[in-house]
Structure 1
């Protein structure tokens, strides 16, 4: 177990919500560890701490199973952003966001930001096979170049993904369209009593991602981090105005006073 006294204090909280098997944990592993790996269903919740410039952002991965449903509101308490995640090949996973998970966000900050994220885009869209990292290189190119030790090696990188035509037979039916996600975002704003004109536009808050290939994963998290920056700055300002009391130091001072007055 990590030493909690040495952990950095988070400046802001981001929470992932969604049904089981939509890929929430895989999205986090892809972003935090830069790789995809098979995962088991999350039990309760898992905590990640992201160093983003001078700020510390806690990212909470929550369980999608119904038996852990009640824990969601606890994890959402004080959240500055919530990522509502569904599977683009499963219409029910989108419906569950509104039916089961939206009410859990009642404990989030009043100015919480909501992103609607359709994962597993690589199963329905051939362009999601072409993942690009922050340097503009494809994932296959990066892995190949990292493996080269001599400049004269002539072996080529792995064959790039097949063309859309050749992949068409492998694609699954896309049950949830982007328009469906945009419509859900509008209903979330109405549920929260927010006006669409004064809120972030749906086009900016609805994403389609692939944890397997990395498609749009960085774009999702970094867009959210930019948007929660005002919350981070406000929280730091409030902490400066209301300094915390060091209990250990207080105990030490009171102990000295007690010893000095006993004789």
Structure 2
């Protein structure tokens, strides 16, 4: 484990919230590791640090299971952006966002940005089988070339639809997500006319194919940039004291005064 003094300090925090099995962890792995893999349910929460240009963004993956529900409020504390995630083939996963998870965001920053993300769209829409993110497609091609020289185990299917090739019915439409986004703004007391419009903050993604995943995270990172710059300015105006540095300087003064 690296020394705490040498770890990069995050400039801003992004948190993923949503019910279990909606694919939060898979979305994060697709973005950070450029590939899809089956995952087990997150216990508590997991922390990832993403370097975005000169900035460091912490991304928190939270557990969707009921027994870890109370931890969500702690993870949301001080968040600059929250990704509320649901499964497009499961209406209940959307309603859970409003019923269980929205109140957890009360500890986020007052100017927190909210995005609604419908994952697993590859199960309902053939166009999601072709990734929109060129670098993800390039990575997939590289993986295919590597398989010629080094055998790899195939990725296990994630649903019956993957086995049959039959598209599932989408239970949550973009209009449903946009309506919930409007209710989130009203719950937060935010002015809808000055907030980001629903069409910019509601996404449909596929962690399995990479569809829209990069677009989601890059759009959010662009939107939290003002928060990063404001926080850096505040830190410059009120710099923190480095205790290790103070100890070192006091030791030098003690040695120099000694006969």
In the superposition, the TM-score normalised over structure 1's length comes to 0.86
Give RMSD over aligned pairs.
2.4
| Residues 129 and 138 of structure 1, relative CA distance in 2, 3 Å threshold | farther
Q: CA deviation at 1:195?
A: 1.6
Please give the alpha-carbon distance, in whole angstroms, between the structure 2 residues aligned to 1:2 and 1:262. Answer: 36
SS across alignment from 1:171: coil
1:70 corresponds to = 70
Which consecutive residues of structure 1, in runs of 5 or more, have no partner in the other structure?
Answer: 150-167
Q: CA deviation at 1:260?
A: 8.0
Cα deviations by residue, 1:37-83 (Å, 9 ceiling, x for unpaired): 00000001000000111110000000001111111011101100000
Cα deviations by residue, 1:174-210 (Å, 9 ceiling, x for unpaired): 1111111000000000000012111100000000000
Q: CA deviation at 1:97?
A: 0.4
1:225 corresponds to = 221
1:118 corresponds to = 118
Which consecutive residues of structure 2, in runs of 5 or more, have no partner in the other structure?
Answer: 150-163
Q: CA deviation at 1:257?
A: 6.2
Please give the alpha-carbon distance, in whole angstroms, between the structure 2 residues aligned to 1:138 and 1:122. Answer: 19
Residues 35, 140 of structure 2: 8 Å contact kept: no
Larger Rg: 1
1:95 corresponds to = 95
The equivalences for 1:232-243 within 5 A come to 232-243=228-239
Residues 22, 85 of structure 1: 8 Å contact kept: yes
Please give the alpha-carbon distance, in whole angstroms, between the structure 2 residues aligned to 1:140 and 1:60. Answer: 25
Q: CA deviation at 1:4?
A: 2.7
The equivalences for 1:158-197 within 5 A come to 170-197=166-193
Please give the alpha-carbon distance, in whole angstroms, between the structure 1 residues aligned to 2:41 and 2:5. Answer: 29
Q: CA deviation at 1:142?
A: 5.1
